[in-house]
Amino acid sequence: MKHNFFLGRKFSGEQDLKERLFKWYTRANHRIHGTTRKVPREVFEKEEKIKLIPLPQEEFKLASVGIRKVYHDCHIYVDYNYYSVPFEYVGKEVEIELTKKLLKVAYQGKEITVHPRLSGRGSFLLNPVIILPTRGILIPNIRRSIRPRWLISEDIPSSYSSW
């Protein structure tokens, strides 16, 4: 196509390009092909069309990947927002996979947490419980402040201890 249609042609605009391409395409697909000695449109209708499968209902999910260092406050910074990560990864580099709706965090190939993706900027997404083996359980005490405040509690039911 780039050597048969575009080569040596000039177009006055997008509409001109579309009209001329449609005419060329229609003519080219209804004549006998030089190599196959068949009419491309007929080959498509008889042989190729039946082999096509329907497009998927969902759009293809593209993910952005990267590396982030876990800050001392158990968070990583992704697209201007902060997401919590278990304390044992503080100071370590973790792998992230960012889709339209989710953030997946892994360490050495093992998934360690998943968060819904935040919109906007400067928000913190905290997993409600982070376990510190020597100091008990930390629970976020979120007030109307920019940074979360933490309370230490030894009296949390054991059902809250799973990350």
State if pTM tops 0.85: no
Does 78 lie in the same domain as 140? Answer: yes
Q: Which of 1-10, 137-146, 154-163 has the highest mean pLDDT?
A: 1-10
HSE-up of residue 96 (Cα within 13 Å, Cβ side): 24
Residue 57 lies in a domain: no
Does 152 lie in the same domain as 116? Answer: yes
Residue 58 lies in a domain: no
What contacts 24+ positions apart, CB below 8 Å, involve 43-50?
none
Q: How confident is the model at residue 14 (pLDDT cuts 50, 70, 90)?
A: very high
Average pLDDT, integer, range 52-71: 89
Does 95 lie in the same domain as 146? Answer: yes
**C-alpha span between 154 and 128 (Å, rounded):** 15
Is the Cβ–Cβ distance between 84 and 113 less than 8 Å?
yes
Is the Cβ–Cβ distance between 129 and 139 less than 8 Å?
yes
Sheet holding 149-153, edge to edge: 130-132, 136-141, 149-153
Does 110 lie in the same domain as 136? Answer: yes
User: Total domain count for the chain?
Assistant: 2
Does 102 lie in the same domain as 70? Answer: yes
Average pLDDT, integer, range 26-54: 92
Domain region containing 101? 64-160
